[in-house]
Amino acid sequence: MPYEADTDETRTAVASQRERIELNLWCVRGAGRLLFLLFFVGWVLLARFVPAPSPMQTSEEIVRRYQENVHGIRLGATFMMVSFCFWAAWGAVVANWTRHSPGGGRVLAMIQIVSLTLSEMVGVLCSFLWGLAAYRPGEISPDITRTLNDAGWLMFLIPWPPFSMWCVALAVAVFRDRREGEVREFPRWTGYLSLLTAFLFVPAGASLFFKEGGYAYNGLLGMYLPLAIFFIWVEGVTWAMTGKLKAELSRLDRSGERIADRISTDA
């Protein structure tokens, strides 16, 4: 019964491909949103890091801020660490697309994976340092608590190059696909958005050099805008990736219907 075996295999292949796309969809949409939600809850609501402490504050002021919200900051640091786990799921889908897209390839995908790993490490380390600063506030020298606080904020902002490299690798993959119109998997604006994001991370590095003004680690230009553009980028890529995966899913459904039609006709 070679023909029945063929159709069974085809149906199984379609079903497993459908599951694969659904997993991708869950990772890119669910993990992208969870990343944002958990980070927001941890960073804003629990740790109350908005407004951020100023680098100009004295050690005593920093210790008081940590003492007043010691459990919130510890819990917030934990939430942030969890949020970064979901980032891996999101990044894996994007890297996988890059690996198989016409403009991508193994090298660009590997650049993304390495950059993602470094970025994850940065995220986990800065949460760890904030958590560590909230471990013994008031029990140890205030200068140590202030240094740990500084280390957390600077770790959060200074390592911008891997983030930018990640965005550039995606932009290159998008622009190398020279096809036009409907057949394009990723719209070209995502390439431009990635380039813009890579570029706008750069001012975050200035926070190492200034303690007051817009470029300090509590400044609009040094911290809030690079952070905002990062989430805009994640949301933009999620949107484009979701569209691409949904199109793939409906294409698969149409081909599945054709197979079903063929089976019923043959029967």
Residues that bind other proteins (CB under 8 A): 178, 187-193, 195-196, 199-200, 202-203, 206, 209-210, 212-215, 219-221, 225, 229
Residue 113 or 193: which CB sits closer to other proteins?
A: 193
Which CB atom, from 120 or from 150, has the smaller least distance to other proteins?
A: 150
What is the spatial distance between Cα 29 and Cα 125, in angstroms, rounded to a whole number?
Answer: 25
Q: What percent helix, strand, coil does the chain show, rounded to 5?
A: 80, 0, 20
Contact criterion met (CB below 8 Å) for 194 and 168: yes
Can you tell me the distance from the alpha carbon of 185 to that of 244, in angstroms, rounded to the nearest whole number? 6
Task: Report, in Å, the least distance between residue 254 CB and other proteins.
Answer: 29
Distance of closest approach, residue 173 Cβ to other proteins, in angstroms: 14
CA angle 24, 259, 245 (to 5 degrees): 20
Return the closest-CA partner of residue 43 out of 215, 199, 228: 228
Both tokens of 239, joined, read 């949107």
CB of residue 204 to other proteins, shortest distance in Å: 12
Angstrom distance (rounded) from CA 242 to CA 61: 46
Nearer to other proteins, 24 or 238 (CB): 238
Closer CB to other proteins, residue 47 or residue 234? 234
CB of 116 to other proteins, least distance (A): 22
| Least distance from other proteins to the Cβ atom of residue 48, Å | 23
Least Å distance, CB 176 to other proteins, is 14
Residue 125, both tokens: 């380390």
Give the residue carrying structure tokens 């119109």.
Answer: 181
* CA gap 42, 9 in Å, rounded: 47
State which residue, 90 or 186, has the beta carbon closest to other proteins. 186
- Is the separation of the CB atoms in 220 and 253 below 8 Å? no
Nearer of residues 89 and 174 to other proteins, judged by Cβ: 174
Q: Nearest distance from residue 100's CB to other proteins, in Å?
A: 22
212 Cβ partners below 8 Å, 6+ apart?
Answer: 54, 55, 56
Q: Which is nearer to other proteins, 40 or 210 (CB)?
A: 210
Give CA–CA dist 24/18, Å, rounded.
10
Are residues 146 and 211 in contact, defined by beta-carbon separation less than 8 angstroms? no
